[in-house]
Amino acid sequence: MADVHSLLATNEKLSQEVLRPGADHVDQSRRFPRESMTALGKAGLLGLLVPALYGGAGAGLAEMSRSLEAQSQACASTAMVTLMHFCATAVISAKAGDALKQRLLPAFASGEQIGTLAFSEAGSGGHFYAPVSEIRINGAQKQLSANKSFVTSAGEADSYVVSARKPGAAGPTESSLYVIPRGARGLATQGRFDGLGLAGNASAPMVLTDVALDDDARLGLEGSGFQSMLEVVLPHFQIGVASVSIGIATEAFQTIAARVGARRYEHAAGAALASIPRVQFLVAEMALELNAARAYLAETIRKVLAADPAAMLDVLGVKVKAADACLNVVSRAMNLGGGWAFGRRGGLERNFRDAQAAAVMAPSSDVLKDFIGKACLGLPLF
């Protein structure tokens, strides 16, 4: 396995040479970015978070963030698929038993297998931590029937980390996580993804009908799912989505900075759009907003890695601020791009659509503000 530094250099190269050229096609044809995922997998990049013991690079949140930011500048659909794979990798690495890790992680590291999360349910919507489905005991077997409302890489991933209430749970936070393989009897994808943005994500609903659950495939103890979601999945997901948002915003910023320099007016003796003070002012505001979100992201990663007790508040907040910064920067870029941007040239329009997902992906910005407000006021979160 290559060292992390050269892996990240390869990530930048593949983002430019494979993800970027394929991004429009993935978006327009609404196809899963299989070529990009294969290239990332072959280069060992899907093993970034897999512990070295299982053939991965053993990297952490900072490297994950860098890799996702570079990918999302080129193709945000690919970055989001990779992020969900990273979330699955993290929770399997932290909570699976040895046999399950041996079975899955080497294949994750080599890119032969992709993982994802199937948490969200029609019955609890954006409250991703509160499954309504419950594991049933049927004779000697545990079984699960559930309606998972959005699963990134649905039908494309090889392993699905699925949440459900434990048997006989008193409430939604008494949940468990199990890994279910693609092809498991009773696991089916429903329909195709038709999202506004991240069009290559294959984020379709999945239905589980009496799917058999093996104790070997459980992540941690029965009933420990909620804890695993908060401790492991949430920091990876929140920091990952923030990184994707910053990547999309950076791309839009660079595109529009080049465009306002190149756009010239014959009626004004060839003056560039960039020479107008109001345009300079708007570009400055975009740069400041992007820099502030980037600094908040770096600070959040630092606090999580230092096990700072104040990290959780930033883990909740960083996705909100990065999503807001991304929406603001990309909307302004669209505006400054005028008819050129509206006419789908330069990729800004794709950035604009991709930027919308972060605020609604659970926990949504609204739900996060609800949590942050309660935390600031010393009220219980759940």
Ligand X SMILES: Cc1cc2nc3c(=O)[nH]c(=O)nc-3n(C[C@H](O)[C@H](O)[C@H](O)COP(=O)(O)OP(=O)(O)OC[C@H]3O[C@@H](n4cnc5c(N)ncnc54)[C@H](O)[C@@H]3O)c2cc1C
Shortest CB 95 distance to ligand X, Å: 17
Residue span binding ligand X (CB under 6 A) among the ranges 122-130, 172-180, 290-298, 303-311: 122-130
Whether cis (ω within 30° of 0) applies to the bond prior to 363 is yes
By CB under 6 A, is residue 120 in contact with ligand X?
A: yes
- 133 secondary structure, DSSP code: -
Number of H helices, E strands in the chain: 13, 9
Residue 290: what are its φ and ψ, rounded to 5°?
-65, -45
By CB under 6 A, is residue 176 in contact with ligand X?
A: no
By CB under 6 A, is residue 224 in contact with ligand X?
A: no
Residue span binding ligand X (CB under 6 A) among the ranges 10-18, 40-48, 274-282, 360-368: 360-368
Based on CB atoms, which residue is closest to ligand X, 1 or 207? 207
By CB under 6 A, is residue 250 in contact with ligand X?
A: no
Helix (H) or strand (E) holding 206: strand 204-213
By CB under 6 A, is residue 146 in contact with ligand X?
A: no
Q: Which two tokens stand for residue 19?
A: 């993800």
Strands 159-165 and 115-118: parallel
What does the per-residue mask of binding to ligand X show for 40-69, with x meaning CB under 6 A? ------------------------------
Tell me how far apart the alpha carbons of residues 368 and 378 are, in angstroms, rounded to a whole number: 15
Based on CB atoms, which residue is closest to ligand X, 203 or 238? 203
Q: Are 362 and 163 in contact (CB under 8 A)?
A: no
By CB under 6 A, is residue 91 in contact with ligand X?
A: no
Residue span binding ligand X (CB under 6 A) among the ranges 111-119, 139-147, 271-279, 305-313: 111-119
Q: Are 160 and 206 in contact (CB under 8 A)?
A: yes
* Cβ neighbours of residue 145 closer than 8 Å, sequence gap 6 or more: 133, 136, 186, 208, 209, 210, 211
**Count of C-beta atoms within a 10 Å radius of residue 34:** 16
Tell me how far apart the alpha carbons of residues 195 and 244 are, in angstroms, rounded to a whole number: 17
Residue span binding ligand X (CB under 6 A) among the ranges 150-158, 172-180, 249-257, 271-279: 150-158
Q: Applying CB under 6 A, which of residues 2, 99, 360, 381 lies at the interface with ligand X? A: 360
By CB under 6 A, is residue 123 in contact with ligand X?
A: no
- 47 secondary structure, DSSP code: G
By CB under 6 A, is residue 150 in contact with ligand X?
A: yes
Name the site residues for ligand X (rule: CB under 6 A).
84, 116-120, 125-126, 128, 149-152, 195, 198, 201, 203, 357, 360-362, 364, 366-367, 370
